[in-house]
Amino acid sequence: EPEVTQTPSHQVTQMGQEVILRCVPISNHLYFYWYRQILGQKVEFLVSFYNNEISEKSEIFDDQFSVERPDGSNFTLKIRSTKLEDSAMYFCASSVGAVYGYTFGSGTRLTVV
């Protein structure tokens, strides 16, 4: 069964440092997403990406965040200057269209110290 792959599975970083979270979506999917889940809270939408550009973003996705699809397979989330409150599980997802639901990756647990 096709899957979404995320690396690393866990990243610890110091406050103020930049981090890049990586994802390889399912190859025939057209839409890519990042979500986050703070421990004990709900899954929150960050951004959706289609045709090499951002199609929607949430209020959480401020200037500290950026996404990129640098080649035909990878999809990355960069946080420029991490804050303590950025500590969360970050999930990448992909789909052929949201009406069909998404497939999620297993997540990157980001810990900012």
- What does DSSP assign to residue 68? E
Q: Which of 21, 105, 110, 112 binds another protein (CB under 8 A)?
A: 105
Give me the 20-59 binding string for another protein, x by CB under 8 A, dash otherwise.
Answer: -----------x-x-x-----xxxxx--x-x----xx-x-
Buried/exposed code over 66-96 (b: 16+ C-beta within 10 A; e: otherwise):
ebebeeeeebebebeebeeebbbbbbbbbbe
Q: Is the peptide bond before 8 cis (omega within 30 degrees of 0)?
A: yes
- Nearest distance, CB of residue 45 and another protein, angstroms: 5
Of the CA atoms within 13 Å of residue 109, those in its CB half-sphere come to 3
Q: Is 65 among the residues that bind another protein (CB under 8 A)?
A: no
Residue number, 14 or 41, with CB nearest to another protein = 41
- Nearest distance, CB of residue 50 and another protein, angstroms: 7
Q: Is 16 among the residues that bind another protein (CB under 8 A)?
A: no
